[in-house]
Structure 1
Amino acid sequence: MNKLYITNGTIIDVESGVTYIGTIEIEGDKIKNVHKQDKALTEGVKTIDAKGKYIMPGLIDMHCHINEGFAPHFVASGVTTVRNTAGNVLLLQKLIQSPTDAPTPRVYASDRMIDGTPGQWGPTSYGNFVTDDPEVARKEVRRQVEVGAKFVKLYGWIKRDVMRAAADEAKKYNLEVACDLINSKDLTTLDAAELGVNWLEHASGFAQEMYKGWNTMVDQKEWRHINWEEPDQEKVEALCAKILQYDVKLCPTMVLFDQAMSYPAIWSPKNRVIESIKNKKHPLEYWRSHEEIADIIKESNAIVNNLTKAIAKTYYAMGGTVVAGTDTPALLYTYPGMALHRELEIFVEIGFTELEALQTATVNAAKSIKLDDIGSIQEGNIADLVILNKNPLENIKHTKEIEFVVKGGKAYTQDEILSYVPEEEAVQRSLEAFMERWEAAGMK
């Protein structure tokens, strides 16, 4: 069994915020011991001397849409686990079943999202399921359970009775239910909580509840009397208090809106991961196509940008669960892996401490989906670690200063991880082959 020692580094206990110099003893893919003092080394064991460096757990992106083509970029960014919020579990099998020490992230995935007619992403396909029939929705939930979905994702045009049925069916199998209500015309965040939804993605549906009659589809000129730039804190607090009673969890994905609103002055630090992403057609061409409608994107996101930040800060202060996610690769330049670092920066900008921000993408994220063996550095946990050149508890921007990433007990440099980025043609052929199999099987 492979062994690895990481010595002399400053270990960050993300639960308490305590730091100490010690040695992490890794055996196989697990942390065997964490020594708070010098450890006598066994001859012949691979050792990383982390003197002057800081060691944190691997990061977790709690809302993304992963693709085989850019999966290594997550790990090169220190993101060792992702929560894939809608897609297709069967399409992701290669990533899901990858060895624990592979240079791609662990994938905690939902299957295709369940939406109402006519479907925001078109009719039923391998990536979304459209129905207004509660019993058909129940059947789809059962199919998703069979293929291995870890949770169920609902989308904004879903009908009330369908949401209730899907949430009820998922509960029978101990699956949580997430929903995205950004474009909802009928349902609000409070409706979703009352109907049994566990997760509110993008902190969506709040505006629809706070301002009845508003949604993204109505004439926005009629709502100019609302000061969207400075959210009504009294309304935010009152609604957060109601949502908290249902123990609903929030993933605000603030970077999604921040990048859109900042365009063309987007957050885009110069580093080897982002340079690698910029050399790929996908998602670069997708982002460039959105540049053409940047003004429209800004107009639609201006309403929720500051509101989402106010909600995230308020809900967390009230004791609610708030975790970090990016919605990569949505909208404009949500860089795979790297966008999570900007999300952590935004958490600090809105009032979180560096430790609290780090917790949203480590220990609190892991606990929120009951993954007990990741998210912190302790004996028995999976050895997913990031070795940094600077202290992220002094400045959250230091999470980008990556020297090594340890994934499942195997140490990589960023360049080594990026060498595993597959050829885009191969990824496209794999997708086309999957589509052929899907259609041949008559899947609906």
Structure 2
Amino acid sequence: MLPLKILISLCGYSATIQACSLHDIAPVPSSDLARRSVLPGKKLPTIIKNVRVFNGWRMTEPQDISFHGETISFGSFHPEEPEVTVDGTGKFLVPGLIDSHLHISKVSDLELLASYGVTTGVHMSCQSYEACHTFRDQTDLTSIIFAGTASTGAGNPSSNLPQTGVSFPDLDEATIIANVFNNGSDVFKVAINDDGPTQDVLNGLIHEVHKLGRQAMTHATTREAFAWAVAAKTDGLQHMAADGPLSRCIIDRMLKHRQFVTPTMNIFKQAFENPLILNFLRPNGAGNITYEAVISNVRLLHEAGVPLLAGTDAVGVVTPTISVPFGLTLHWELQNLVVAGLSPLESLRAATVVPALHHRLEDRGAIEPGKRADLVLLNSNPLDDILNTMDIARVWIGGVEFQDIGGKAE
């Protein structure tokens, strides 16, 4: 393979990187794609009485929350009476949680997410558009938005280029972007690799995405990759630089461009605890990557005011010795963010109102009249201890109660 030519350097960084392929190694038989183990639920007029509410910004005093169909209202139903009354005394209601970076492969993955109160997921690289639409059509399970298969460089086996026989970057940006959005993708994704795209091509792709009024996400796991992604003015940076501290120059430019980061601390932490996972991640950069660098950089970004979104890079069970489970990992990520300096309040926002704002999901992420009835009822206060997000009593998705709580779905 020829070495990549560096066309631009930002804040003194220039290097080559390669994308992670952990989520590409476990294909799912088509017969298992849409298999469900939980029967669809029903939308029943419901009132939760005397419950304290984390509305996305703060915890309120006890009040009543009602919903009928998919949307929330306050107080009691008029003139229709609720069919379900839930006593919320001593309990805490939070918006359905959002995992801003995962890779699902079958509908039963959505059941696991729902069982842990994760009511929205961002599927960050669609390998099959038919499958992605199947995931998105499950109205009573965790709802999914998805990025088109990541655009990479010529010769990369995980490239999502249209099957035209034309090698990237010779294919023009408009054709690459059309392939993603004409297939129903919500966002565009680019993976910075050692075989491309070059900085110029990266800039051109993201510029064209922005001309359409759409968002671009960029996979980046080193300081050099962050520099490239920041220079290209991507909307969201996925993962975290793990090879040393981000410079103030890079962070200032991120603030200027109003970029956000989904650091996926979970996958780094799991990798450094499991060498088998680390073997898949190490090609993302130099051999001197450390989890301490990940924590330090998340802390630097938080202190500077760069928006942070909770995401896990969950893929489920890959092999008997490699598993990045759905649902549970988002709760781990909230704990990771607290270790990196966020308060429990800020950590909870990173999985509710903050990703809703940055992913343009105007109908969720908060508990307000007219928002989706994506709700998680907790037995204990998550603002006292972030571990309490796992103390789940009940979950509703679009007004439908999910019956299998705590990862019991098979």
TM-score, normalization by structure 1: 0.73
Does the 8 A contact of 2:97 with 2:117 survive in 1? yes
Equivalent residue for 2:100? 62
Equivalent residue for 1:8? 50
TM-score, normalization by structure 2: 0.79
Q: Distance between the aligned counterparts of 1:12 and 1:292, measured in 2?
A: 37
* SS of equivalent to 2:367: coil
Q: Distance between the aligned counterparts of 2:278 and 2:253, measured in 1?
A: 40
Does the 8 A contact of 1:134 with 1:166 survive in 2? no
Q: Distance between the aligned counterparts of 2:78 and 2:216, measured in 1?
A: 48
Residues 304-383 of structure 1: matches in 2 within 5 Å?
304-329=290-315, 332-383=322-373
The runs of 5 or more residues in structure 1 that have no matched partner are 208-227, 265-289, 422-444
Q: Establish whether residue 401 from structure 1 lines up as the match of residue 387 from structure 2.
A: no
Equivalent residue for 1:159? 198
Equivalent residue for 1:281? none
Does the 8 A contact of 2:115 with 2:395 survive in 1? yes
User: 1:180-215 CA distances to partner (integer Å, 9 max, x unpaired)?
Assistant: 13379xx632222222311111034x84xxxxxxxx
Stretch deviating more after TM superposition (372-381 or 193-202): 193-202
Task: Tell me by how many angstroms 1:130 deviates.
Answer: 9.0
* SS of equivalent to 1:405: strand
- In structure 2, the CA distance between the partners of 1:134 and 1:50, relative to structure 1 (3 Å rule), is farther
Aligned AA for 1:156? I
Equivalent residue for 2:184? 148
Aligned AA for 2:250? L
Task: Tell me by how many angstroms 1:134 deviates.
Answer: 5.4
* SS of equivalent to 2:64: strand
User: 1:305-351 CA distances to partner (integer Å, 9 max, x unpaired)?
Assistant: 22222222222222211111001128853210110100000111121
- In structure 2, the CA distance between the partners of 1:141 and 1:292, relative to structure 1 (3 Å rule), is closer
Q: Distance between the aligned counterparts of 2:399 and 2:267, measured in 1?
A: 32
Does the 8 A contact of 2:222 with 2:240 survive in 1? no
Task: Tell me by how many angstroms 1:299 deviates.
Answer: 10
Task: Tell me by how many angstroms 1:21 deviates.
Answer: 0.7
Does the 8 A contact of 1:257 with 1:301 survive in 2? no
Does the 8 A contact of 1:392 with 1:398 survive in 2? yes
Percent of pairs identical after alignment?
Answer: 23
Q: Distance between the aligned counterparts of 2:205 and 2:130, measured in 1?
A: 20
The alignment's C-alpha RMSD in Å is 3.1
Does the 8 A contact of 2:302 with 2:341 survive in 1? no
Equivalent residue for 2:130? 90
The runs of 5 or more residues in structure 2 that have no matched partner are 1-42
Does the 8 A contact of 1:114 with 1:137 survive in 2? no
Q: Distance between the aligned counterparts of 1:243 and 1:114, measured in 2?
A: 22
Equivalent residue for 1:258? 269
Q: Distance between the aligned counterparts of 2:287 and 2:228, measured in 1?
A: 22
Does the 8 A contact of 1:86 with 1:110 survive in 2? yes
Does the 8 A contact of 1:124 with 1:130 survive in 2? no
Q: Distance between the aligned counterparts of 2:149 and 2:183, measured in 1?
A: 11
- In structure 2, the CA distance between the partners of 1:76 and 1:125, relative to structure 1 (3 Å rule), is farther
Q: Distance between the aligned counterparts of 1:196 and 1:291, measured in 2?
A: 30
* SS of equivalent to 1:414: coil
Residues matched between the structures, number: 358
- In structure 2, the CA distance between the partners of 1:126 and 1:80, relative to structure 1 (3 Å rule), is farther
Q: Distance between the aligned counterparts of 2:62 and 2:79, measured in 1?
A: 16
Equivalent residue for 2:218? 179
Q: Establish whether residue 111 from structure 1 lines up as the match of residue 153 from structure 2.
A: no
